[in-house]
Amino acid sequence: MAFEFHLPDIGEGVVEGEIVKWKVAVGDVVKLDQPIVEIMTDKATVEIPSPRAGTITAINYKDGEICPVGKVLLVIDDGVAGSAKPAAGNGHGHAKAPEHSPAPQLQLAGNLPESLPVTRAAIEVVDATASRGRVLATPATRRLARQLGIELGRVAPTGKRGRVTTDDVKQYGAAGSTVAIPRLTESVLPALPAAKSFAPQAIAVGGDEERIPLRGMRKRIAESMTRSTHTAAHFTYVEEIDMTELVAVRERAKARAADRGVKLTYLPFIMKAVVSGLKKWPMLNASLDETTQEIVRKKYYHVGIAAQGPQGLVVTVVRDADRRSIFEISKEIERLGDAVRAGTATREELTGSTFTISSLGKLGGVLATPIINFPEVAIIGVHKIEEKPAVRGGQIVIRQLMNLSISVDHRLADGWDGAMFLQDVKTLLEDPTTMFMEMV
């Protein structure tokens, strides 16, 4: 006969539990007290045993879903004709233990050798795995982490016996940590936050002022930047690049480039290094399809160049950058720049980039945290090259140094991806001969 097992009240103040992992499936035959499911609550990670022997006929909640206390967790057919009716509630919708079986036992996670009775004093939070493969945290903490785009596995726990608390997640998010984290799983993707909306803010007159209508290109830039900052979970990683060798290479190549009518800048070299890095770290050349909740890894390389135009920030697109030579990229960058200044750039020349390079040229400054060009996953900021003292071989020497900063959407790419990508770019720029060996 069917026996409905309701999620019991397994701790003071517990109102729900997150299904960590089912140990059984529909159709399985279980024994009395056989472990059937791991559940994470506000108080503990517990392993719930079967209250009866029989066959599993229904499982009402999937891994990762939240089951409220008192709701039917699963149904067991105990095969006993005329046995007790489906468990009646105790006034709160909780299942009563059948008279012919002992009270349900809860075993704490971590494969402990013995079970503990269901008492509030017995519920403790313990580290489920020494490797942090499964992190201990309450459902509320997990929801907050999903909303902030934070992987719990890289948050330092301060709770009892290794539990990650809500304050831990908030502090981690506030710090803007760039520590490498595991990639998002399918169970996390549906919970990705949508862009926020805010009530319009009126600005009172405070004196002599000028009011300019927000329209056209400036309005489009405002909307794009706002959407990006409130959709992508930004983090920034910075690396210093020794450009001395590349400066020399460019200087030697300038005359040959001029003979071909090419104005050779550093951007084509940087673009080739970026494309090489994207091929090794494809998650940075991707987008999130929010309608289907799919990560789209792109196998084409349309690199955007974010630069200041007559009407504001404009991203021109060098299509198929992986198939072009450095001289060809130089010509295309110059052609696109001329089109923007003349106001003749087409929609195709201004849209469709898969990764963006932001550069202010000689005004590049020391460091910046560029905003991702939505819906891309990352953007790299190029800063000015300056002669600075550096230590080489135990000696202080003058080198041509530059900073590169990369902002990455932490929802889709890990800190490890961003850091390793920039390290690969650094390697190619610091030793340009490797760039040609890579044949990117």
Q: For this structure, is 230 an active site residue? A: no
Joined together, the tokens standing for residue 286 give 């991707």
Please confirm whether the linkage preceding 375 is cis (ω < 30° from 0).
yes
What's the rounded Cα separation, in Å, for the pair 74 and 51?
11
DSSP H or E segment with residue 118: none
Q: What type of residue is 355?
A: F
Q: Tell how strand 105-108 and strand 35-40 pair up.
A: unpaired
* 77-82-83-86 Cα dihedral, nearest 10 degrees: 70
Catalytic choice (6, 234, 383, 410): 410
How far is the first Cα of the chain from the last one, in angstroms, to the nearest whole number? Answer: 68
387 exposure class (CB count in 10 Å sphere: 0-12, 13-18, 19+)? exposed
Which H or E element spans position 438? helix 432-438
H or E stretch covering 111: none
Q: What b/e string do you get for 50-86 counting C-beta neighbours within 10 Å, with b at 16 or more? A: bbbbbebeebebeebebbebbbbbbbbebeeeeeeee
Strands 116-117 and 72-77 come out as unpaired
Element (H, E) at 190: none
Question: Alpha helices of 50-106 — where are they, by DSSP H?
Answer: none
* Residue (of 108, 105, 134) closest to 8 by Cα position: 105
**Taking a C-beta distance cutoff of 8 angstroms, is the pair 174, 151 a contact?**
no
- Active site positions, annotated: 410
